[in-house]
Amino acid sequence: MKSIFIFLIFIIGFSSCDVLDVEPTASIPASEVYKTKADVDRGILGAYNSLQALSYYGRTYITFSDLASDNLIHPLNATSTEYAEIDNNHILPENASVDGMWSAIYDGLNVANNVIAKIPQMNFLSQEEKDKALGELYFLRALNHFNLLIYFGGVPLKLKPTIGLSEVNAVRNSVDEMYASIIQDLTFASDHLTNNSSQKTRASRGAANALLARVYLYKKDYNNAVVYASKVINEGGYTLLDNYADVFSTDESKESIFEVDFTPLDRNRVAEYNFPLTKNGRGEVAPDPDFVASYDVNDSRLDATFAYSGTTPYVIKYDDLSTGGDNIIVLRLAEMYLIRAEALAQLNSNANDILSDLNKIRKRAGLEDITTNNISELLSAIEKERRFELAFEGQRWFDLVRTGRALDILPNVKESYQLLFPIPQSEILTNTNPGMNQNPGY
C-alpha cells in the first residue's frame, strides 16, 4: 500500500484529474474499454504477473519462511542486513525486504480488483464467462490476502480498486474477517472453475480446493481441511510422482496443482540467493547444517534438495541460476496428503487412515512406514515429514507458528510478538487511519 501511495503522489504532481485510478502496468488502463475477450484475458494475466515480483514469489516470500525458521541460515560471509534480521528473528519495521513483500502483495491485490470491478459491465461476456474470469481473480485475491495474513496477522482487506488517497488510509481487519473473505473468494472459485489438472499456471477448481484445504488447516477447521484435501486427492486428476526429484526438474509436473510462471524474461532470483559464491550465486542463504544432517541417509529427498560446493551444502530445488526460469510451485499433491493426515490426527480419527496418507509420502522418499497408533506421536511424525517434504518451499515458519511450536524450537524466538512480522514502517507513516496500528512488540 506504500507503493500505491507513492504512485498516487506522482500522478497528483503531473495530472489535473480529480479522481485517480491506480492502474497496474500489466493490464489495460481504466481509460480504455474492455472490448474483447482477449482484452479481459490480458487483464487477468496482469493479476497473475503480479505474483512474479522479486519481493513476492520471485524470491522474498518463499525464502523468508525458511529463513525465519530452522531450515535456512544467513551465512557469515553474506551481506544483506535485511536477511540477517529475518534469520535472527529480530526484524525492524524499516526492513526494506519486508516492505517490498508487503507492497508487492498489495499491488497484486489492486491489479486483481481493477479487473474484478469492470467485469459486471462486460456485456460481450456470457454469465458463465464472467463467472470463470471472476473465479480466477477471486482465487488470486484470496491467495494474496492469505499470504498477508500468515505473515502479518489481520491487515486491511482490499476488495475494491484503490482510486483515491482516502482509500489508502485503511483500517486493519481482524483475522476472522480475513479468513471469512478468503474462504468466500475461494468457494466462489471452486464453484465456477473447472477441473483442469493440465493447467498449472492459472487457477482451476483443483487449485481453489487445494488452497481451501491449506486455509482450513491454518484456521484449525480440521473437518473442512479433510473435505477439501480429499476433493483434490480424489477428484483433481493429479498424480504423486514416483521420483521426488521429478517434481522440480520440469515445470508443470503431474503432481503440481498451481505454480507461478517464470521465464528468462520474467525471471526469479531464488537460485541466485541460494547458490554460494563459488557457484556464481549470491549466497545470502544456506541450509542449516543441523537440518541437512537430520535427513535419513536413505531419504531420496536428500539428493534432490541439496548439492555441495566442496563440503558446503546449498539448496537446488530451484536451480536455474542462469535464466531464473524455474516455475515456483505454490500447491502440489503431496501437501494435500499431509494436510489430510494432520487434520485427521487432530480429529483423533482412525490411525490407519492417517498412516495411509503419511506413509504414501514416506514410501516415495524410500523410507520405512510409520506404524505407531499414538495420535501425539503421529502429529510429531507429520510435522517432521512436512519439514522434509516441503523444505525450501516457503512453509516451515508458518508450520511452526500455527502449531505453537516456534517458541519451543527456535532459539531466537523468545516472545510471542515475534510470531508475526512487523507492519512496514512506511505503511504506518502513510496510512493515517486510526485503526492502522503496528503489531505489538515492534
> Which tens digit of pLDDT belongs to each residue from 90-119?
999 999 999 999 999 999 999 999 999 999
Percent of the chain residues past pLDDT 90, beyond the cut: 90
Q: Is the pLDDT of residue 7 over 90?
A: no
* Average confidence score pLDDT of the chain: 92
Gap between the Cα atoms of 19 and 17, Å rounded = 6
- Sorting pLDDT into bands at 50, 70 and 90, what band is 164? low
| Residue 24 confidence (pLDDT) | 40
Q: Is the pLDDT of residue 19 over 70?
A: no
The three cell numbers locating residue 83: 536477511
Q: Is the pLDDT of residue 21 over 70?
A: no
| Residue 165 confidence (pLDDT) | 57
- Sorting pLDDT into bands at 50, 70 and 90, what band is 163? confident
Gap between the Cα atoms of 339 and 333, Å rounded = 10
- The domain 1-173+416-442 is placed in CATH, from the list 3.10.129.10, 3.40.30.10, 1.10.760.10, 1.25.40.390, at 1.25.40.390
Q: Mean of the pLDDT values across residues 334-360?
A: 98
| Residue 167 confidence (pLDDT) | 67
| Residue 34 confidence (pLDDT) | 84
Q: Is the pLDDT of residue 84 over 80?
A: yes
- Per residue, what are the HEC states of the chain? CHHHHHHHHHHHHHCCCCCCCCCCCCCCCCCCCCCCHHHHHHHHHHHHHHHHCCCCCCCHHHHHHHHCCCCEECCCCCCCHHHHHHHHCCCCCCCHHHHHHHHHHHHHHHHHHHHHHHHHHCCCCCHHHHHHHHHHHHHHHHHHHHHHHHHHCCCCCCCCCCCCHHHHCCCCCCHHHHHHHHHHHHHHHHHHCCCCCCCCCCCCHHHHHHHHHHHHHHHCCHHHHHHHHHHHHHHCCCCCCCCCCHHHHCCCCCCEEEEECCCCCCCCCHHHHHCCHHHCCCCCCEECHHHHHCCCCCCCHHHHHEEEECCEEEECCCCCCCCCCCCEEEEEHHHHHHHHHHHHHHCCCCHHHHHHHHHHHHHHCCCCCCCCCCHHHHHHHHHHHHHHHCCCCCCHHHHHHHCCCHHHHCCCCCCHHHHCCCCCHHHHHHCCCCCCCCCCCC
Q: Mean of the pLDDT values across residues 28-44?
A: 79
| Residue 40 confidence (pLDDT) | 95
> Which tens digit of pLDDT belongs to each residue from 328-338?
999 999 999 99
- Sorting pLDDT into bands at 50, 70 and 90, what band is 17? very low
